[in-house]
Each structure stands twice: as structure tokens, then as C-alpha cells.
Amino acid sequence: METAEGPHRVPAVDIIPLGGVGEFGMNMMLVACGDTAVLVDAGVMFPEPELFGVDLVIPDPTALEAYRGRIKALVLTHGHEDHIGGIAHVIGRVDGPVYGSRFTLALVAPKLEEHGVDIGDRLVAIAPRETVEIGPLRIEFLRVTHSMPDSMALAIHTPAGVVVHTGDFKIDLTPLDSNHFDLHRLAELGTAGVLALLSDSTNADRRGMSGSERSVIDGFEEIFSSATGKILVAAFSTSIYRLQLVVNLADQFDRKVAFVGRGMQHTSQIAERLGYLKMPPGVQIRDSDVRDFPAQDVVCLCTGSQGEALAALPRIAIDDHRQVKLAEGDTVVFSARSIPGNEKAIGRTMNHLAKRGVDLVTDSDKHVHVSGHGNEEELKFVLSLVRPRYFVPIHGEYRQLARHARLASTVCPETTVVMAQDGDVVRFDDEGGRVVDRVPAGRVLIDGTRTGEVADEVLRDRRHLAADGLIVAVVAINGQTGALEQPPALFARGLAVDAKHDTLLREAPDLLAREIGDASREERADPGLLKERVRVALQRQFKKRAGRRPLVLPIVMEV
């Protein structure tokens, strides 16, 4: 618009993905306009197995520092860990409310409590089609279908235009709870004109449609009608529809349902209390009651579908669970996808289960799992409804983003695709939409036992520990003379038992005695230097003669 002062300037809107764009998990995005910013989701990523002792990975929040005092709200799309798991670690940088659906907030609250974060009445529940005003931004919540109830997309009305953020979604036309995807509103927005669409790319490389949650009923029905023993179903505790479906079948086939594993009990309780999981009277039993019922009358919903060492199913698999025991003829159903990186752990769990003589059912035997993310055709459908001016694929590794971008250029050739990655500042203003800048982005490793960040050297130590074990060398030195008081003692843990190691350990005290004898007087008088000498000597020997790099922990005592 031309005015006397010259061209009318539209305030710029910046979209800054800080996690989940270029990788799976830890979704977090900053939307900034003038002196107002809003954080969308604050998720975690589960660590790869090589990140020993790291419990969680969250997006690097450094970039948020530059927005201190301007982040007026945290807006949550839904309650999956990759969207809410990092809240306790970033909430200190947010000044206003946390908006989310009722179920999402019910999952967030205990998480904050667990971390000792009290944000009082800042949790504000929002229903679909409700709107909140945050400075120049008006955020509208739209219901989508996904693998958990109460999932939302956001229509962010900005001075530069409407930005639609889909959150995670699939298009389930027959959702179990009959809460339909608000495709109508999405189409309305599309008709009125959408500036930018940010859409879930998780399954962009899968053909066709993902299929309704109901599509697994047949597979489960077959299992229920043929199983003669207990049925165990391993699933994610947040897959409420899956739980509901198993509960319904249990009711139908006169079986009792027990929730087994902390996460399963915790989430099912919340879902039941809020009415998202409907339990027919008399169906539920406690896990401690399982043994009191004949095997053919019970179904257990268990945690541990990823082979997590401390979760229910892997423990049951090695007959190390207090309440639930397996017997030959029982059936175990894996009703979840294998998260990449977990295959080995899952395989081990399956081997143990097979040794117990149970029937294993996975998605390759029967259709017992369906993804919560839309495939190609569903993504195209959303694109065709919204027909945005700009399209930014989100939630995925680069290849899924690229694939989604290709789909977009087929569906809406007029649309400009902006390929962004974590840390890119995507700006929308008079000059259009493009990446204008970069902010710090990366990952922060969280060690849950100390709620601290894990430094690189700690990680390196843990890697050596896990791969090659630990050697503790105790050296007693005369504080006066610096001479050895007694032969060095060695303790090893986690070292492979073999002849080479035996010889090395047997020879090590003499080796250390020689090393210490060779050391200068000053070196011997300095426990720090001596420790280092002991460490290097032992490491060199193990490296040279056994090709191993155990973690060496020298202890020097002055007597």
C-alpha cells in the first residue's frame, strides 16, 4: 500500500526452529514479532545408545537468551515427549502462560512437579477453535488427529499473515473418540489466504495413507480369539487410542486388563481420570492381581516396547518382574514402531521372550501397529487445503524435509518452499519469506540423576567404561621418601575375561612399581603427577597389548 510516507512496511515475523527441523525429536520453535516472542513446544530427544548415562537430549536454549523478557508464552501442540519433555529446562526463559489442551497440560503438570518447578496458575487449558492473544500475535488452536488425543495445530495470525503450524498429525477419518481433524477450518484459512505452512514431515517418505487407528482392530481381534494364554501388549503409554482398543477387546473377550510399568500406570491413570480412556466397570485389575487370574483371562498393557532395560517387558522377558511371569503359550504383541537405534535392545528382549516359549507378534506378522504421522497422500491433502504462499517442512531429518518439499512443489507449484534447519531465522516481511540469519542451535545433554549438563569428557569416559571396562589402581606412597609402601593393587570391572587381560593385570603391579621407581622425586611427591603417570602407563599397556582402552582410575594414597 502506497502512502504519503512511502511504501507501507509490514512488521517482520521471524520463525526460528531450534529443534526438530533436520532431526527427529526435541521439537522447539520460536515465533517472534516486534517485541513479542512465543515458544512453540519444548521437546526432548531420546539419546542414542552411544550417549552413555545421558537421560535426555534437549535443544540448545542459548538462542533464547537474546529474547529474554520477550518470550510471552509457551504454546504446546500435544503431549508427546518430543514436544513437552524439555519444558522444565526452558520454562525459566518464558515469562507468560503455558497454553495447551487439557490432556497435554495434564501430562505436563507432573513433569514440572517432578523437577520441582512450580509455575502455579500459568498452565492454561485451551479447547479446539479457541484463540489467545499474545501481543501482536493471535493464536488459534485447531484439532488434528494423531496417535494421542487432544492434539492441536496452530494458526498463528501475525501482522504479516497467517502461519499454520500443523504440530504432529495424520488424517484419521474414523478416530476412535470421534474427535475429527478440523479440516474445515484448515480449508477456510486456506481460502482466506495463508502466508506460511509449517507441516509435519515425519512420514513424508511413505507412500499412500497411514491408515486409521481402527485398522489394527482386526489384527488384535485375531490374537484375542486365538490366544490360549496371557496376552501382553507392549505399546507407548501415551498411545491412548491403542490402550482403549485393547481395553475394549478385553471387555469383549472377557479378559481383565492390567497396566504394567510405571509409565503405563501413570499415563493411563491421567487419561482415565480425565475421561480420555474409558474403562468398562470390572475390567481393570492391578498388576499385583495378575497371578490370581487364569492366564487366558488376562491381558497386560506393558511399557518396554523399545527394549528399555528398566521397563516392564524387558524385565518380564528375563523373568525378573515381581508381578508378571510368562509361561509357554502366552502371547506378546509389539504394538509400537522401533525407534531407530533401539533395534538391538528390542532384539535382545525378543530373544529372551522366545526362550520363554511365548508367541511373539510384531507388525510384520499381523497389522498391530499404525503410525501417528501422515503419509504422502495425507501431507498432500493438507497442502492442497492450505495452499500457502510459503512452505516450510518441519519435524524430520533432512531427507524427509526434502521429500516433503518435493510433494509441495507438485501440489502447489505457486508455493515457495523455504528449506530451513535448526537455528535458521526464517523471516517474513515486505521482501517475502527467506532465511536471513542463523542463531546458535544444537543439543544439550541432560543427565537426569544430576539434572546437570554432561560435558564431552564425561561422555568420553562413559564410552570407554562401557566398551572396555574400568581399572582402579591403588598406589600407596611414603609421603616422606616418595617410595612405594607396598605393591600397587589393581581392581578391574567390566573387562572382558581373556588370557591377554589376565596377563596384563598380573603384570601390572610390577609395571607400575617400575614406572614409579623411574619417576623423579618431584613427580613422586606430587600425587597429581603420579596419578597421571600411572594412568598413562596402564592405558598404554592395554592399548598396545590388548587393543583396549579401559577407563583407568588411579588412586594415590600418601601414608
Return residues touching Zn ion (CB under 5 A): 80, 82, 168
422 has catalytic annotation:
no
Neighbours of 235 (CB within 10 A): 26
> Locate cell 497386560: which residue?
300
- Smallest separation (angstroms) from Zn ion to the CB of 144: 10
Neighbours of 244 (CB within 10 A): 20
- Smallest separation (angstroms) from Zn ion to the CB of 166: 11
- Is 85 or 433 the residue whose CB approaches Zn ion more closely? 85
Distance CA 435, CA 464 (A): 41
Q: Rounded to the nearest 5 degrees, what angle is found at the Cα of 398, between the Cα atoms of 339 and 100?
A: 65
**Pick from 325, 309, 317, 318: nearest CA to 258:** 325
CA quadruple 110, 115, 119, 122: dihedral positive or negative? negative
- Is 150 or 182 the residue whose CB approaches Zn ion more closely? 150
Amino acid type, 156: I
* Active-site option among 373, 395, 404, 501: 373
Instruction: Write phi, then psi, for 16 (nearest 5 degrees).
Output: -125, 100
- Smallest separation (angstroms) from Zn ion to the CB of 165: 12
- Is 80 or 403 the residue whose CB approaches Zn ion more closely? 80
- Smallest separation (angstroms) from Zn ion to the CB of 168: 3
Residues in the chain: 559
- Is 77 or 349 the residue whose CB approaches Zn ion more closely? 77
DSSP H helices in 274-397? 312-317, 343-355, 376-386
- Smallest separation (angstroms) from Zn ion to the CB of 146: 5
Distance CA 219, CA 216 (A): 5
DSSP code, position 489: E
Q: Which string of DSSP letters, residue by residue, matches 146-211?
A: -SSSSEEEEEEEETTEEEEE--S-B--SS-TT-----HHHHHHHHHH--SEEEEE-TTTTS-S---
- Is 168 or 422 the residue whose CB approaches Zn ion more closely? 168
Number of separate helices (H) and strands (E) present in the chain:
15, 31
- Is 22 or 314 the residue whose CB approaches Zn ion more closely? 22
Going through 231-356 in order, the beta strands assigned E by DSSP cover 231-234, 256-260, 284-285, 298-302, 331-334
- Smallest separation (angstroms) from Zn ion to the CB of 135: 27
- Is 150 or 515 the residue whose CB approaches Zn ion more closely? 150
* Active-site option among 200, 422, 447, 468: 200
- Smallest separation (angstroms) from Zn ion to the CB of 44: 11
498 has catalytic annotation:
no
Spell out the SS3 assignment of 356-373.
Answer: CCCEEECCCCCCCCCCCC
- Annotated catalytic residues are 200, 373
